[in-house]
Each structure stands twice: as structure tokens, then as C-alpha cells.
Structure 1
Amino acid sequence: MIELADVHKAFGSNKVLRGVNLTIPKGTSLVVIGGSGTGKSICLKSILGLVTPDSGTITLDGEDVTKADRDSFLARFGMLFQGGALFDSLPVWQNVAFRLLRGSLKRPKDEARAIAIEKLRRVGLKSEVADLFPAELSGGMQKRVGLARAIAAEPEIIFFDEPTTGLDPIMSGVINELIREIVVEMGATAMTITHDMTSVRAIADNVAMLHDGVIQWTGPVAQMDNSGDPYLDQFIRGSADGPIESVR
């Protein structure tokens, strides 16, 4: 469904992507792992058209993403942002229904609110939460609201940027289970960026490791522990010793 072919991107002398090749089949969940600053977020932003690659192609259903109609293209995506990225000045339900209250997906206000409450219930939040403001919620609840917003418009593709950042292990497990359930339930195509190996094992069908601007290894999550790739093995172990240089 999504394909990156020989994608390069540099910022001045900093060559972030050096020829990324990656395929995400429809209805599957891909998790991209790799150290900080390796270009994971740039990959995601390039697919969304927020960053323009210097060379290479990115296609969605065979269509070059740089040539697609922006409104109809972005309407196919949902996004769970790393920090939640909720609007402080809007009540929870308006955060969830943000896309349903404007633009090409606009719905009547009452209908948008009803959808928002339904999605909040889907992620385990009661309807009373709808009229609260983000500052009145815990970090885990804010993450759930972000997830509800990501699925509110029934997107075909959902991106998750570090979905468990800032959460304790128990809440991280809850969010991972919710993500997996919802992706399977919706039949969505998913791409997740994370450092959390627990999330990888809970969410992924396939794993891709980005290192030094290229995909170092990719394959089914079940093959990850026996990949034989020294870069992936070091990353999984979290070891300072190996081909990936650590800052000391």
C-alpha cells in the first residue's frame, strides 16, 4: 500500500536518509525502530508530504504522494502524536472530533460529538470525559484521547509516533493492546515509530530497523530475535557494545 524507493533526504550536510527502501502491505502493522536521530520521523513526514525527499519516490496505492490531491490524500490518514498534541483550549470531544468539525470531512456538530463519545468509549474512556479539558486528564488518559482522535474519521492508514512515551509500564501495555486491537478491528494499515521493544512485540506484524540512513533489516516480528543482524541484535539487547556507536 505504501512504498518508499531509494528515498534520500539531507538537511545541509546532514544526510538523514541515504536510500530508504521500504514496503508496507495493506492491512499490516509495520514498526520502524532505530536510534534517536536516525531518520524515523523524517520517513513518516516524507510519506505525509510534510517533508519533500531530495530524490527517490514514495507511492500510496501506486500514486506518487507528491502529486496527490492534498485534502483527499490526508483524509486517508490518522495520526497519534508523540506528546498527545491535544489542543489545550478545546474540550476533549472537540479534540477527538477536530477533523469532523471542519474541512472535507465536516459533519453536523451533534453528529461529530456523538462520534467523538463513541470513539472515547472505544479507547476505554467514559462519556463524562468528553467535556473536560486536556489539562484535567492524566498522561494515560491524554494518550487515549489522542488515539480516539486518530481513529475518529475511520482512516485507512494510521501512524503512531512513539505511542508509549512518558507512560508507566502498565499504561504502556494498555495502550499497546488498544492499538493492536483497533488496527486489527479496523483493518487499517499501520506504521509505528518507537524505541520501546515491548511495543514492537505487541504491535508489529513486520519490523524495519533504520540505521545510518538505510533500512538495515526488515522482516516479520517473529524473526526479529534470530535475525543474525548485528545491528538489530545490539539494538534489541540495548547493549553499548556492537557496531552501533554509542555516545560516551
Structure 2
Amino acid sequence: MIALSGVRKSFGSNAVLRDVTLSVARGTSTVIIGGSGTGKSVMLKCILGLVAPDAGTITVDGRDVHEGDRDAFLARFGMLFQGGALFDSLPVWQNVAFRLLRGPLKRPAAEARDIAVEKLRRVGLKPEVADRLPAELSGGMQKRVGLARAIAAEPEIIFFDEPTTGLDPIMAGVINDLIREIVTEMGATAMTITHDMSSVRAIADTVAMLHDGVIQWTGPIGEMDAAPDPYLQQFIHGRAEGPIEAVR
């Protein structure tokens, strides 16, 4: 479904992606791990065509991400942003239905609201939440609203950027379970960026570790713990000593 080959991207003298090659199978959940500043978010932006790589190719469903109708291309994606990225001035239902109220996916307002309420129900929020403002919700509820928005337009591909950041362990577990259930139900192809190893174990079919601008290791989640790669082992166990230098 998604294929990157020899992708490179630099910002001035800072080479963020040096030679990224990765394949994501249709209908699977791939989790990208790696330290802060290793280029995980840049890689997602390249896949979306928001950042142009300096070299290499990126295809979605066999087609280059820079070819064809941009609106139609982006309509295939849903995204759960790290900080929620909800619009403070809009009620919850309009946040969830944002893409359904404008652009190529536009629906009548009443229909868009009904869809929003149903997606809120799917993530465990009651209908009365629909008319509240984001500031009236807890962090966990805001994250659920973001998840409802990500799935509102029934996307084929969903990106999750640090989905459990800032949540307590119980709510993080709830969000992980919801992501796993929803991706399975929808048959969507999912890519997740996270530092949270509990999230990795809960939602990944495949794990890929990005380090120093390359995919250091990739494989099924069931092979991760026994993999001999020292970079991977240092990261997943949070060890201070190892080939990855800790910034002091």
C-alpha cells in the first residue's frame, strides 16, 4: 500500500532522512519507533506529499504521491495529531466532521452531524459531548475526539502521531485498544509514530526502527524482542548504555 525507496531529505546541512526504504502492506498496522529528532514526522510528511524528498521514490497504491489530484489523494488519509489539534472555537461535532463540512467530501450539515455523533459513540463518547467546546473536555476525551475525526471520512490509510502522549497509563491503554479495534474493523492501513512501547505491543503488526536517517530494523512485532540488533534492543529497553548516544 505504501512504499518508500531510497528516500533522502535534508534541511540545509542537516540530513534527516539518509536512505529510507520501507514497505507497508495493505490492511496492516506498522509502528515507527526511534528517538526524538530522527525524522519520523518528516517521513510521514513526505508520504503525504507535504514535504518533497531530495531523492528516492514514494508510492501509495503504486502511484507516486506527487502525481494526480491532490485533494483526491489526501481524502484517502485520516490523521490523529499528537496534540489533538482540535479547533478551539468549534464545537466537538464540527471538529469531528470538519472534512465533511467542506471540500470534496462535503455533506449536508445535518448528515455530517449524524456521522460525527456516530463516530463519537464509536470512541466511547456520549452524544451530549458533541455540542461542547474542546476546552471543556479532559485530555483523554480530546484524544478520543481527535480519533473520531481521523475516522470520520472512512479513510483507507490512517496516521497516528504519538497517540498516547500526555495520557495516564489507563487512558493510554484505552486509546491503544480503540486504535487496534478501529483499524481492524475498517480494514485500514495504519502507520503510527510512538515512543511508548506499550503502544507498540498493543497496536503493531510490523515494527520499523528509524535511526540516523535509515530504517535500522524492521520486522513482525513477534520477532522484535529476540532481534539481535543492538540499536533496537537499546531503544525498546530504554538503556542508557549502547550504540545510541544519549544527549546529555
State if a TM-score over 0.5 links the two structures: yes
Alignment of structure 1 residues 165-184 onto 2, 5 Å: 165-184=165-184
Partner of 1:209: 209
Partner of 1:186: 186
Partner SS, residue 4 of structure 2? strand
In 1, Cα distance between the equivalents of 2:17 and 2:146? 28
In 1, Cα distance between the equivalents of 2:23 and 2:29? 11
Q: Residues 99-153 of structure 1, C-alpha deviation per residue, up to 9 Å, x if partnerless?
A: 0000000000000000000000000000000000000000000000000000000
Partner SS, residue 227 of structure 1? coil
Deviation of 1:67 (Å): 1.4
Partner of 2:131: 131
Partner of 1:22: 22
In 2, Cα distance between the equivalents of 1:118 and 1:163? 21
In 2, Cα distance between the equivalents of 1:61 and 1:125? 34
1:61 has 2:61 as partner: yes
The gaps in structure 1 that reach 5 residues or longer are none
Q: Residues 65-101 of structure 1, C-alpha deviation per residue, up to 9 Å, x if partnerless?
A: 0113100000000000000000000000000000000
Give the total of aligned pairs: 248
Partner of 2:87: 87
In 1, Cα distance between the equivalents of 2:68 and 2:168? 40
In 2, Cα distance between the equivalents of 1:165 and 1:23? 26
Query: Residue 10 of structure 1 aligns to which amino acid in structure 2?
Result: S
In 2, Cα distance between the equivalents of 1:170 and 1:135? 21
In 2, Cα distance between the equivalents of 1:201 and 1:68? 36
In 2, Cα distance between the equivalents of 1:93 and 1:122? 13
In 2, Cα distance between the equivalents of 1:136 and 1:197? 30
In 2, Cα distance between the equivalents of 1:242 and 1:119? 44
In 1, Cα distance between the equivalents of 2:84 and 2:196? 17
Alignment of structure 1 residues 94-105 onto 2, 5 Å: 94-105=94-105
The gaps in structure 2 that reach 5 residues or longer are none
1:52 has 2:16 as partner: no
Query: Residue 171 of structure 2 aligns to which amino acid in structure 1?
Result: M
In 1, Cα distance between the equivalents of 2:63 and 2:187? 21
Structure 1 outlier segments of 4+, above 2 Å = none
Partner SS, residue 110 of structure 2? helix
In 2, Cα distance between the equivalents of 1:60 and 1:3? 7
Partner SS, residue 66 of structure 1? coil
Cα root mean square deviation, aligned: 0.4
Q: Residues 188-216 of structure 1, C-alpha deviation per residue, up to 9 Å, x if partnerless?
A: 00000000000000000000000000000
Partner of 2:222: 222
